[in-house]
Amino acid sequence: MRKTSRRASASGAPLGVFVLLLALVVALSGCVRIDRNIHVNDDGSGTYALTIGFKRDLATVYGPALVNQMTEYGESVKAKGGTYGRTDDDTYTYWTFTRPFRTPDDLNQALANLPSVTLGSSTLSSQDQLKLTENSGPFVNDFRLAGTISLIPDGQVNSTTQDLFKDAHNTLVITMPGMLTSHSGGTQSGNTITYTVGYAQTAEVNVASRAVNWKTVTPAGLVAGGLLGALAVISLFLALRRPKRDPRNPAPQSPQMMAPNDYPTTPSLTDSNQGWR
């Protein structure tokens, strides 16, 4: 199968480099949650949602600065046809950014274009490398989303930092089109694979699926259906063109061959003479 133009740049650099700088204050026991949901359709389009959650005490201390940075990123998502909003619960404040994508390249660019949040000097950096590729054939499309997700600190990992970020997580939920052909790691539910890493953890992501290429199958089906329809119309036309018989005039019957015994016999002279006697 040939590969479509929906591919990575010629430089070969990963398009889905996730560099999210979250400055967390140790005294506040700051914590972050990152959740992403990718839904891919049969034609390579889909939706991508990113949710970032902060401990409410951290969000309160850095309220104006945090709101400004989240709003700035949200407006860039909105400009591309997406939406964003904020929700709160008893422990966390969440910002969710949802955008559509038309091609795998659109998704890869969205994965690379993520908010950079600066709240202090102590940072928790996640450098994810994710890329969606598509190989398009005459009847089916093959999709693959591969890379890594992580939640790696910029400093030394010890018991103090592990306790500080014990509730931090980085979750990726992928829903692929058609039939899953392979996947490694994660947990599966139907066509959806979920990967989750905690503090100082990394996970390999590799999910592949195959879906019907409706862009070619549909026109081919329409052509085949049109041909069958045309044949049906022609057959009906020919049937209507046949001359109809008047039911009052019976159809002429073809002459039938008579068996030898069915032919009439001619009386012989002998039989006649016997009759005169």
pLDDT, one tens digit per residue, over 198-238 is: 888 899 999 999 999 866 644 544 544 555 666 666 666 56
* Token digits of residue 17: 């480099």
C-alpha angle with apex 43: 41 to 45, nearest 5 degrees?
55
Percentage of residues of the chain with pLDDT beyond 90: 38
Q: Provide mean pLDDT across the span 84-88.
A: 94
Residue 132 has pLDDT above 70, yes or no: yes
* Average model confidence (pLDDT) across the chain: 75
**Which has the higher per-residue pLDDT, 167 or 241?**
167
pLDDT at 146: 97
DSSP 8-state class, residue 10: T
**Which has the higher per-residue pLDDT, 47 or 271?**
47
* pLDDT tens-digit map of 92-104: 899 999 999 999 9
pLDDT at 18: 42
CA distance 87 to 108: 26
**Residue 145 and residue 38 in contact, taking contact as beta carbons nearer than 8 Å:** yes
Backbone angles phi, psi at 179, to 5 degrees: -115, 130
**Which has the higher per-residue pLDDT, 48 or 26?**
48
Residue 177 has pLDDT above 80, yes or no: yes
pLDDT at 211: 94
pLDDT at 238: 61
Among 33-37, 55-59, 267-271, name the most confident range.
Answer: 33-37
Residue 195 has pLDDT above 90, yes or no: yes
**Which has the higher per-residue pLDDT, 246 or 16?**
246
pLDDT at 1: 43
Considering only CA atoms, which of 148, 104, 116 is closest in space to residue 9?
Answer: 104
Give the strand order in the sheet containing 32-40. Answer: 83-88, 92-101, 46-55, 32-40, 169-175, 192-198, 187-189
